[in-house]
Chains A and B, each alone.
Chain A
Amino acid sequence: MTVKQLEKTANLVRQDIIKMLVEAGSGHSAGPLGMADVFTALYFEVLNHRPKQPDWPERDILVLSNGHIVPVRYAAMARAGYFPLKELLTLRRFGSRLQGHPERTKLPGLETTSGPLGSGLSQAAGLALALRMDGNQTRRIVALLGDGELDEGNVWEAAMLVPKYRLHNLTALIDRNNIQIDGPTESVMPLENLRAKWEAFGWHVLEIDGHNMAEIIGAFSLARAIVEQPTLIIAHTIPGKGVDYMEYDFHWHGNPPGTLELAGDPPKAEQAKAALHQLRTLGGRIRGEHQ
């Protein structure tokens, strides 16, 4: 896929997210919208995988630690061909394979069950160790973490272990969107200097614009070439990216369109429409929705 095609796909993923959340009536908005570009890059360019054979033994493994942003993973998986797009609208419903937080045993293609924060990097490390013991040099593990999740001690236990065993077959990426449920990360529990902390733990740190396809793909590509240390990508993202009334506002962390009305927001009943319109017209840069 060209960068342009990837960008277009990411936009569709964002529209899917809005539709899913509105249909579900609950769920997280800001994180999934902010990570749509990273997930699109992973599923359509970076990962070696087979959507029609989710348990393909040679596949790369994507571990999502902050399970609450799973709507973006579901949308990217559906767009990649793992399951029909219409199943996205079953999110959070009774009997759905698309649980509110991801469950490995419910939907083929999910690699771990997550939601309770802080345990994804450790599981990714365990998977990387297993590959190492098997002498496998080709498969790669990608672990995605949120920034608020870094408050969890379990993350730093794993941050010590991965460099100890020089697990360069593992690449971690932190979604640095600067918000968590209670507010900005730096007021809830300061994380900076984030880069220096991970470097001090023995990681090779790359910082990228998490909305720039070329930078996302370039970072994962570079990570494959670095073997002396494991690589951590700090992806700077805008929470709620693509929907202006959500962008940068921590109140949209755990709420779907239509449930919250802050000063300057569209009326609740108009929010879903406004979000989809913005995405379809790229924030007014395209005049008609069908152009």
Chain B
Amino acid sequence: MSKDLHLNPQLLSREVQQEPIRAGFGRGLVEAGRRDRRVVALCADLTASTKMDLFAAEFPERFVEIGVAEQNLVTVGAGMALGGKVPFVSSYAAFSPGRNWEQIRTTVCLNQANVKIVGSHAGVSVGPDGATHQMLEDIALMRVLPGMRVVVPCDSLEAEKATLALAAHEGASYLRLAREKTPVITTKDTPFTLGKAQVFRVGHDLTMVACGPMVYQALLAAERLSKQGIEAEVINCPVVKPLDGVTILGSARRTGAVMTAEEGQITGGLGGAVAELLGDHHPAAMTRIGLADRFGESGTPAELMEHFGLTAPHLVKRAKELLKRKGGS
């Protein structure tokens, strides 16, 4: 593990502390509101679920309840941004940015409105609610928009830092959050910079680039591979756009094999972004973990992560397959 990143020493232990990633957003938003009076919050009838309730309680005069109307959510947000506010607009990712993509394109991106779109409950780990609510296409939808920043934190502490960083950064942004409890990998002292990926674990045999809850799975997989004599480098890539090409390419040049891991469609998501980067600059053996052109379904989060091949044992298997394709070795 990288020492200077001050990761949680307990992260590989069974007793590792767990917390939903969205909880970090809730704390970060309140702190952002304390630091900057321009920060406002808008929600589409999911205030507690998206953890905006903390902000609404402390700053009721700066909170707008939009109701179940995601098109209105983002367009009212765009108007507030033009009026000098820094609006965070939240709903489930399936509905925002799932339903209101054109409004985001025109009234946020083309209009250059400083709106922060927060999509909670992304990925299959939403669980029993089923495929309708398990958003898998949001990274692709947002990544393709000119000027849109896309951030996928790996744990609650990173989500807190990302929220504060986005509040201070001028420009349209998408913040993707997960519902379930996720092991806390980082600590308060772990640095976070918008646009920077971090090498969480150093290795020379293959590179694993992961975002969101899949960072933890990648670290577990790397540990198991290490016991079998394979050293995987694990890169935490919370900012899918703009992608930190320097860090990822640097690692790919050293290892010659790259795996991506995300809780979403591999087409157009983190996997797509890394494939484009490598294709342009350093073609290498590659494999993408995620959902391949299919929807989720109801089940417990653990059952679904297992079923869709998103757990550490699957990553170990896929890593070994990847190594067989690496440079003919």
Query: Contact residues of A with B, CB < 8 Å?
Result: 63, 103-105, 111-116, 118-119, 122-131, 133-134, 153-154, 157-158, 160-161, 165
A127 touching B82, Cβ below 8 Å: yes
CB of A37, distance to nearest CB on chain B (Å):
27
Once A116-B106, A129-B80 are accepted as A-B contacts, the answer to whether A158 and B111 lie under 8 Å apart by CB is no
How far is B204's CA from A160's CA once the two chains are assembled, in angstroms?
Answer: 58
Chain B residues, CB < 8 A from A112:
78-79, 82, 107, 111
What's the dominant secondary structure at chain A's contact region? helix
With A105-B111, A126-B75, A129-B80 as contacts: A161 and B67 at CB distance below 8 Å: yes
Give residues in B with beta carbon < 8 Å to A.
Answer: 40, 61-62, 64, 66-67, 69, 71-72, 75-85, 87, 102-103, 106-107, 110-112
Most buried by B among A116, A123, A128, A161: A123
Cβ of A132 to closest chain B Cβ, rounded Å: 9
Give A114 to B112 CA distance when docked, in angstroms.
12
Cβ contacts under 8 Å, B106 to chain A: 113-116, 119
| Choice from A114, A115, A118, A126 contacting B71 with Cβ under 8 Å | A118
Tell whether, in the assembled complex, residue B75 and residue A161 are in contact, meaning their CB atoms are under 8 Å apart: no
A130: shortest Cβ distance to chain B, in Å?
A: 3
Q: Which of B61, B76, B81, B107 contacts A125 (CB 8 A)?
A: B76
Looking at the complex, which one of A104, A126, A133 makes contact with B76 (CB distance below 8 Å)?
A: A126
A160–B73 alpha-carbon span in the complex (Å)? 12
List 5 other contacts, CB 8 Å, given A104-B111, A130-B83, A161-B72. Answer: A116-B102, A123-B79, A123-B107, A127-B82, A157-B71
Question: Are A126 and B111 in contact (CB-based, < 8 A)?
Answer: no
Q: How far is the CA of A112 from the CA of B81 in the complex (A)?
A: 11
A169 → chain B closest CB, angstroms:
11
Is A127 a contact of B112 with CB atoms below 8 Å?
Answer: no
**B62 contacts A119, CB within 8 Å?**
no
Q: Which 8 A-B pairs have the closest CB atoms?
A: A126-B79, A130-B83, A122-B75, A157-B72, A123-B79, A157-B69, A126-B80, A113-B111
* In-complex Cβ contact of B85 among A123, A130, A153 (8 A): A130
With CB as the reference atom, state the residue of chain A lying closest to B68: A157
How far apart are the CA atoms of A233 and B172 in the complex, in Å? 33
Whether A130 contacts B79 in the complex (CB less than 8 A), given A122-B72, A157-B69, A161-B72, comes out as yes
Complex Cα–Cα for A127 and B76 (A): 8
Q: Is the CB of A130 within 8 A of B80?
A: yes
A131 to B40, CA, bound (A): 13
Residues of chain B lying within 8 A (CB to CB) of residue A158: 72, 75-76
Q: How far is the CA of A124 from the CA of B72 in the complex (A)?
A: 11
Residues of B within 8 A of A116 (CB): 102-103, 106
Query: Which residue from chain B places its CB closest to the CB of A130 in the assembled complex?
Result: B83
In the bound complex, residues from chain B placing their C-beta under 8 Å from that of A128 are 79
**B102 contacts across to A, CB distance below 8 A:** 116
Do B110 and A113 have beta carbons less than 8 Å apart? yes
- Report whether B69 and A126 are in contact in the complex, using a CB–CB cutoff of 8 Å: no
Contact in complex: A125, B79 (CB < 8 Å): yes
